[in-house]
């Protein structure tokens, strides 16, 4: 379990680096949308194909706590199990798939959301 968490955190850090250097949104590939929803007031800033999944960077007009609560509730309601939860971060697993969600406050009422969806984990 500890090894899985280390791998997930490493992938997340790599994802953030790649997203920061990406300058334009691309089409969302794979079955990301079948497993992960977009926060209602969010806009897509950037997307990225990962070796075994998809990464998406969003911006939402909502406090980070509300965004985290939304994802925790919707993912659990969809049958995902929480692997890790800490301030601003959630990791889920289901059927050999993984989702990592990192939420950072831009301001009191605006958040940046980074989502990595991984298959065959």
Q: Write the CA distances from 64 to 36, 61, 67, 88, integer angstroms.
A: 17, 9, 5, 7
Q: Enter the pTM of the model.
A: 0.76
Residues 6+ apart with CB under 8 A from 61: 41, 42, 109, 110
Fold of 2-119: TATA-Binding Protein (3.30.310)
Task: Identify the pLDDT of residue 4.
Answer: 64
Task: Identify the pLDDT of residue 47.
Answer: 87
Task: Identify the pLDDT of residue 20.
Answer: 46
Task: Identify the pLDDT of residue 77.
Answer: 95
Task: Identify the pLDDT of residue 21.
Answer: 41
Stretches in the chain below the pLDDT threshold 70: 1-30
Task: Identify the pLDDT of residue 2.
Answer: 61
Task: Identify the pLDDT of residue 25.
Answer: 45
Instruction: Delimit the domains of the chain by residue range.
Output: 2-119
């Amino acid at each position: 379990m500890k090894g899985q968490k280390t791998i997930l955190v490493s992938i997340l850090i790599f994802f953030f680096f790649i997203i920061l250097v990406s300058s334009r949104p691309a089409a969302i590939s794979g079955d990301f949308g079948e497993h992960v929803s977009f926060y209602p007031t969010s806009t897509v800033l950037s997307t990225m194909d990962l070796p075994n999944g998809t990464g998406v960077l969003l911006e939402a007009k909502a406090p980070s706590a509300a965004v985290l609560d939304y994802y925790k509730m919707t993912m659990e309601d969809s049958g995902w199990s929480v692997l890790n939860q800490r301030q601003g971060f959630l990791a889920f697993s289901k059927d050999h798939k993984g989702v990592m969600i990192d939420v950072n406050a831009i301001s009191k009422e605006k958040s940046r959301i980074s989502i990595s969806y991984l298959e065959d984990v």
